[in-house]
Structure 1
Amino acid sequence: MLNNPRSYEEACRTFRWKIPDRYNLAFDVCDRQTMAGADGHRTALIVEGPDGTSERYTFHVLRLLANRLANVLQAWGVTPGDRVALALPAGLEAAVALLAVTRMGAVAVPIPTNLGAEPLGWRLSDSGAQVAVVDAELLPALDLIRSGLTALARVLVPNAAAPGTTEFWSEMERASDAFAPLVTPAGHPAFIFYPPDGCGKPPGAVLPHRAMAGGLPAVEMSLSFFPQFGDVAWTSADWMSAEALFRAVLPAWHHGVPVVATPGPFDPARALDSLSRHGVRAAYVPPAHLARLAEAASGRPHAMPRALASGPAPLDEALHEAVIKAFGIHANEAWGVIETGAVAANLAGLMELRPPSPGRTAPGLTIEAVDDRGRVLKAGERGVLAVSPNAPGSFLGYWGDRVEGPARRGGGGWMLTGRLGVRDLDNYIWPEPLALSDDTVMTTEGPTRLGAVEAVLNLHPTVSAAGVVEWPEGELRAFVQPRGLATPALLDEVGAWARLRLGTAGSPRRLELIETLPLAVDGSVLRAELLARAPRIDAPTAEDRWRPQRK
């Protein structure tokens, strides 16, 4: 959408939205790349295996495979507006499922694969998903909750067979590869996104087909006027997150740019190897991954990408300096919440970077700080950051509201981001850090409620009481008071119990036995006393030592 302007002011002055009233996301990012003279045999997806080998898939192949899956879902009774849950790692199956669901007008419900049974069950039941396409590693968690999922009729699992499920590729082989994409309005629901962490029972934000296009100005700016000739895109973010899809994968396919997929947990060394092998020139890397990537790059040879983007959490000066030292370029940022999409960005060379501000309002949009009545405040005055009415990337509402209207509309139609901050005279925005409750901590996987983790640990039959604290920063440390005599395998059993129910996103990585859990008069855990306890690395027996839990 941007045309390499010479200044930020020129970008804003010359920008025009070009989103048609009838717009189907799958048609835009896939079918369009095979029509009207376009070469459909260009590479769209490169999937790298754990051993470094890779497979390439063209836009034409993705379209045919998505058609097959759409026919499978249609034969199972999925109609426009029905929900289909997707919990898959980055790769071919994820790409095909995303394209198939959106091309038929159904609503995709992406669910991160690191969630356990409880957050998985909430997302499946709240969305009313009729079909789920899940990775085989999630089957134990799904089995634990499936009896309570009355709406879930079918489960597709790639490369695995289990009772009550259907093997993905076997079903695809019997389906036709001809399917006409539904001509949907641009505002037709396409996705329901829940927060990527397993904290509580949050509502799902419903995003329309046009949401990706609505965030393109900020995304293209943060990726240094993406695309440029020879670009190959990659992201370390989970493909089941809004950030990965709307800041990397779908924008790349919209522009006909190939995307590299590296399934599995983020590994900075493997990521650097992938960047080099496939000539990645444009990458979106979340802040937590960016710090680890820059640290790994500082001690070894590696490729130098053309553009690095991050966000939505603002980057501090130290991380900016580390990225410049490691890659020779600035890490640009794109900021926004799920409900608004990317609405602000910075770009080194086009504007001054002013950390921790994530940049200036994207072309085509307006961001203001408003008061509790929705009145626009003066530059520099603190209020709730809000996006201009009718912004194309804004959500339709929360799923629990049955999509009858946005729940975050303020006075004058402003879309509230829910974040306090200011806009200065130069149009930079300064969002304040997200406020957390006393019971909530920010781990490397996202916000986690300590009380919820304790409740799950207390359900284990051999646990009398449990207390959880954050230690060290970004990790959870749990203390378990056994019910009766502790066995050497108790900590392993409790750790597996927690991971199955909470996933790696919410389960503690450090488990220790404690003789008596310190409690207040009201029965609450005295977490300050637990924080003061040093880990017993030199304890005489193995069951008395803390044990790091495998991710």
Structure 2
Amino acid sequence: MAWTVMPTYDDYETARAAFTWDLPDEYNPAVDFLRKHEDTSRTALRYEAPDDGLETYSFDDLDERSDRLAAALADLGVAAGDRVGVVVPQKPQNPLTHLANWKLGAVSVPLTVLFGRDALRYRLEDSEATVAVVDPSVRETIDEIRAACPALEHVIELGDSESVRSGAHAFDDLVAAHDPGIDLYDSTPETPTAIMYTSGSTGPPKGVRHSHALWLGRAAAAYNYFDQGLQAGEATLWTPADWAWGAALGGTLFAAWHHGCPVVGWPRDGFDPDAVYDLLERHDVTATFMPPTALRMLMTVDDPDARYDLSLETVASAGEPLTSEVVDWVDAAFEDVSINEFYGQTELNLVVGNAERWFDTRPGSMGKPFPGYEIAVLDPETGERLERGAVGELAVKPGDRRVFFDAYHGLPEKTADKRTEEGWFLTGDLVERDADGYVRFVSRADDVILTSGYRVGPMEVEDAILTHRAVEQAGVVGVPDDTRGEAIKAFVKPAIDDYDPDGLRAEIRTLVRDRLAEYEYPEHIEFVERLPTTTTGKIRRRTLRERDRSGEE
């Protein structure tokens, strides 16, 4: 029962030529992550609670607790195919819920506690989640939206009966009231595993339906961008990214457990560089996934390698292009620490990346295609394959179709549009591939904003802004930002003549934070007399971006 999908290869060309996907006939992620290891008494999770100190969980502990939770969910009526929302930060209850779901054949809906009212409502309603497991920090929001989610029958709040208010089940009590030893659902790589949501640019976020093969694909990619250093008993992983995001959940947490490595859970509201270095030292973290924004914040600490006794070997990064100054800083600030940028999508797994074990990192490049994938650069208009050096849309073809998404939930036409007749999956990202095979990100083909590692769809932000009674029109774009990569800027046409600009800006920012997410609020707001539109009345975001670059008012 090895299920190790990415063997070790000494050089890139050999890996590209020799590797093939060999997925098992039967596959359950809960068994893969928890039961297949030779020594399941080893530590799988080190959880630093904000106020209660360190908790450690072995693979056996997680297996037993997720068994108990699965039995509790079954008593509440959860069955194979049912959707269960998981709105929990980096706490043990997050992976425990996913594992319990898969033991029943249920489908997880990972959601971040950073989401506001509208963002949570839309995703829980669209996915038709029957149960939501939630952190106390979002319980009030869940109560506000519950009536708008008719399929939502049960809410399970973290805590016990003394801390959980009426209207929700207490997580701890449910687990304690049930026994381990349930019969696992007979599943395969094709069994539905999760619905993950994109940030749409031309409409609402799309629910991306995946099967269990997703986790094997992400584990294989992680093995590469962590420089084949995920040896059981040797590597320890941590990421500051929320476990709701694909690269953190599948490419760090579950990839580590697939390979038998422990993970550190450390929920925090903010990012304190000195506290992060202290954590890396305290837990002997050897591999970390960090968005470029986090790395730029770490750069503010002088001489970290001398001040902290770090065990760090590999830094993996994604979400936005790495600049040369970050790559050069890692090389100068640390001894023998590699930095590997990688690229993926909610739909298409993690398909391109750097791996210093195989080839030198080139600043500004996303790397080369990982083994198991072919890539092409296509003309966005004609779909024809372009020569090296030309800018076009990145298209990807997997060696095994199952490691990519199954469909967009309830959107068959958009599902069909994602794939060409020749079997290429379109990314919507414009890239350039050089003569040596390195891929460089140029821009999005649509209007998605890349800020602090998050992808933000401008329409969702515009819709939130338009709910303010003093706003008539709004256009949202990304603008260059030294720390975040891009910051969100809103061009707003007020609906009234008499308004306080500073006061209205503050109200708009608060509104977006409350309705969507903390990272989606517009840092920059410019009030305008009119917005550029097409003949059909759509906002011309490209014109707004050009206006911002030119400094026009």
Shift in Å at residue 468 of structure 1?
7.9
1:334 equivalenced with 2:334 (yes/no): no
1:181 equivalenced with 2:206 (yes/no): no
Evaluate the alpha carbon distance shift between residue 120 and residue 301 of structure 1 in structure 2; reply closer, same or farther with a 3 A threshold. same
Aligned partner of 1:411 among 408, 421, 424: 421
Shift in Å at residue 146 of structure 1?
1.6
Structure 2 residue aligned with 1:14: 18
Question: Match of 2:521, SS?
Answer: coil
Structure 2 residue aligned with 1:276: 281
Aligned partner of 1:225 among 220, 225, 228: 228
Structure 2 residue aligned with 1:265: 269
Evaluate the alpha carbon distance shift between residue 81 and residue 520 of structure 1 in structure 2; reply closer, same or farther with a 3 A threshold. closer
Question: Match of 1:240, SS?
Answer: coil
Structure 2 residue aligned with 1:507: 521
Evaluate the alpha carbon distance shift between residue 520 and residue 427 of structure 1 in structure 2; reply closer, same or farther with a 3 A threshold. closer
Cα distance in 2 for residues equivalent to 1:477 and 1:374: 32
Alignment length, in residue pairs? 524
Whether the 8 Å contact between 1:111 and 1:196 is mirrored in structure 2 is: no
Cα distance in 1 for residues equivalent to 2:475 and 2:426: 34
Code of the aligned partner of 2:26: R
Question: Match of 1:187, SS?
Answer: coil
Q: Which runs of 5+ in 2 are unaligned?
A: none
Whether the 8 Å contact between 1:385 and 1:431 is mirrored in structure 2 is: no
Cα RMSD (Å): 3.6
In the TM superposition, 1:354-365 aligns within 5 A as: 354-365=362-373
Structure 2 residue aligned with 1:316: 323
Code of the aligned partner of 1:89: P
Shift in Å at residue 212 of structure 1?
1.8
Question: Match of 2:439, SS?
Answer: strand
Deviations 1:85-140 (A, max 9, x none): 11110121112111111222111010111111111111111111111111111123
Cα distance in 2 for residues equivalent to 1:151 and 1:452: 23
Deviations 1:458-503 (A, max 9, x none): 5456x577978778834457788999898x9998776554432122
Question: Match of 2:293, SS?
Answer: helix
Question: Match of 2:444, SS?
Answer: coil
Whether the 8 Å contact between 1:387 and 1:416 is mirrored in structure 2 is: yes
Evaluate the alpha carbon distance shift between residue 452 and residue 192 of structure 1 in structure 2; reply closer, same or farther with a 3 A threshold. closer
Structure 1 residue aligned with 2:374: 366
Whether the 8 Å contact between 2:473 and 2:531 is mirrored in structure 1 is: no
Deviations 1:374-423 (A, max 9, x none): 66554445443222253442111111147997652212222222323344
Structure 1 residue aligned with 2:112: 112
Shift in Å at residue 511 of structure 1?
8.5
Cα distance in 2 for residues equivalent to 1:197 and 1:295: 33
Code of the aligned partner of 1:234: W
Structure 1 residues 195-204 or 61-70, which shifts more? 195-204
Cα distance in 1 for residues equivalent to 2:371 and 2:102: 27
Evaluate the alpha carbon distance shift between residue 507 and residue 385 of structure 1 in structure 2; reply closer, same or farther with a 3 A threshold. closer
Cα distance in 2 for residues equivalent to 1:405 and 1:96: 31
Cα distance in 2 for residues equivalent to 1:52 and 1:139: 21
Question: Match of 1:343, SS?
Answer: strand
1:125 equivalenced with 2:129 (yes/no): no
Whether the 8 Å contact between 1:266 and 1:289 is mirrored in structure 2 is: no
Question: Match of 2:349, SS?
Answer: coil
Whether the 8 Å contact between 1:384 and 1:416 is mirrored in structure 2 is: yes
Structure 1 residue aligned with 2:215: 212
Cα distance in 1 for residues equivalent to 2:256 and 2:520: 32
Aligned partner of 1:295 among 289, 295, 300: 300
Structure 1 residue aligned with 2:86: 86
What TM-score does the superposition give when structure 2 sets the normalisation length?
A: 0.84
Aligned partner of 2:408 among 390, 398, 411: 398
Evaluate the alpha carbon distance shift between residue 436 and residue 137 of structure 1 in structure 2; reply closer, same or farther with a 3 A threshold. same
Cα distance in 1 for residues equivalent to 2:317 and 2:454: 16
Code of the aligned partner of 1:280: V
Question: Match of 2:285, SS?
Answer: coil
Cα distance in 2 for residues equivalent to 1:485 and 1:120: 31
Question: Match of 2:299, SS?
Answer: helix
Shift in Å at residue 193 of structure 1?
0.7
Aligned partner of 1:256 among 240, 255, 260: 260
Question: Match of 1:40, SS?
Answer: coil
Code of the aligned partner of 1:346: N
Deviations 1:286-323 (A, max 9, x none): 22222222333645722140111112433121110122
Deviations 1:272-291 (A, max 9, x none): 11110010011111222222
1:194 equivalenced with 2:197 (yes/no): yes
Question: Match of 2:252, SS?
Answer: helix
Structure 1 residue aligned with 2:134: 134
Cα distance in 2 for residues equivalent to 1:316 and 1:363: 25
Evaluate the alpha carbon distance shift between residue 200 and residue 310 of structure 1 in structure 2; reply closer, same or farther with a 3 A threshold. same
Question: Match of 2:288, SS?
Answer: strand
In the TM superposition, 1:38-49 aligns within 5 A as: 38-49=38-49
Code of the aligned partner of 1:400: G
In the TM superposition, 1:140-179 aligns within 5 A as: 140-159=140-159, 160-179=163-182
Evaluate the alpha carbon distance shift between residue 314 and residue 519 of structure 1 in structure 2; reply closer, same or farther with a 3 A threshold. closer
Code of the aligned partner of 2:223: E
Deviations 1:195-242 (A, max 9, x none): 269995121111110112123333212101131352111111110111
- State the identity %: 30
Question: Match of 2:55, SS?
Answer: strand
Evaluate the alpha carbon distance shift between residue 430 and residue 53 of structure 1 in structure 2; reply closer, same or farther with a 3 A threshold. same
Structure 1 residue aligned with 2:443: 433
Evaluate the alpha carbon distance shift between residue 520 and residue 395 of structure 1 in structure 2; reply closer, same or farther with a 3 A threshold. closer
1:307 equivalenced with 2:314 (yes/no): yes
Cα distance in 2 for residues equivalent to 1:112 and 1:168: 18
In the TM superposition, 1:7-86 aligns within 5 A as: 7-33=11-37, 38-50=38-50, 53-86=53-86
Evaluate the alpha carbon distance shift between residue 225 and residue 250 of structure 1 in structure 2; reply closer, same or farther with a 3 A threshold. same
Code of the aligned partner of 1:506: E
1:420 equivalenced with 2:430 (yes/no): yes
Cα distance in 1 for residues equivalent to 2:518 and 2:54: 27
Structure 2 residue aligned with 1:350: 358
Cα distance in 2 for residues equivalent to 1:477 and 1:15: 44
Evaluate the alpha carbon distance shift between residue 406 and residue 280 of structure 1 in structure 2; reply closer, same or farther with a 3 A threshold. farther
Shift in Å at residue 257 of structure 1?
0.5
Whether the 8 Å contact between 2:102 and 2:193 is mirrored in structure 1 is: yes
Evaluate the alpha carbon distance shift between residue 50 and residue 196 of structure 1 in structure 2; reply closer, same or farther with a 3 A threshold. farther
Shift in Å at residue 436 of structure 1?
4.6
Cα distance in 2 for residues equivalent to 1:189 and 1:165: 27
Code of the aligned partner of 1:386: A
Structure 2 residue aligned with 1:537: none
